[in-house]
Amino acid sequence: MSTRWKSPTIGDIVWCHFPELPALDPGPKPRPALVISVETRADGISACVAYGTTKNVTRLKAGEFAIIRSIHPAAFELAGLAFDTKFDCSLAIELPWSERYFKVPPHPHHGQTPKLGTLHPSVYHAAAAAFRAANAR
């Protein structure tokens, strides 16, 4: 586990090598992920993160919400995203908060940490609805 980074908080958007499930090996390319829970364990910190993608952001399914620059400019800015992104709360996984899965993004705005940004209050309702829909399945 990494001790060099501050623990993430719920609502952080982080740069993550999200595994190609069901495998648990880090995925081949980093992507945004939304921290939906954090737990301190005996062996370190773990973060449950929801998958983020820039594909099909205007076609949302149950359990998904999007942050789109033209619709949510303040949310897009605070999130630290480079492109319109949707998050899939039904694709969430608990990962160790370590260099194996999390990386410092190419243009770090929060120092040498995986944090891209934070969820803006204007999208809390959409995120909560997606989380509820994902957990209702």
Domain ranges of the chain: 12-135
CA separation for the pair 109, 41 (Å, rounded): 28
pLDDT digits (tens, 9 = 90+) for 41-84: 998 999 999 999 999 999 999 999 999 999 999 999 999 999 99
- Tell which CATH architecture fits domain 12-135: Roll (2.30)
Q: 22: pLDDT confidence band, cut at 50, 70 and 90?
A: confident
Residue 88 has pLDDT above 90, yes or no: yes
pLDDT of residue 63: 97
Q: Which residue has the higher pLDDT, 108 or 97?
A: 97
Residue 3 has pLDDT above 80, yes or no: no
**Mean pLDDT estimate for the chain:** 93
Residues 101-130 have a mean pLDDT of 93
User: What is the b/e burial string over 69-106, where b = at least 16 CB atoms within 10 angstroms of the residue's CB?
Assistant: eeebeebbebbbbeebbbbbbbbbbebbbbeebbbbbe
Residue 1 has pLDDT above 50, yes or no: no
Q: Is the peptide bond before 22 cis (omega within 30 degrees of 0)?
A: yes
pTM above 0.85, yes or no: yes
Residues 96-101 have a mean pLDDT of 96
Residues present in the chain in total:
137
Among left, alpha and beta (phi > 0; psi -120 to 50; other), residue 80 is left
Residue 2 has pLDDT above 50, yes or no: no
Residues 6-12 have a mean pLDDT of 96
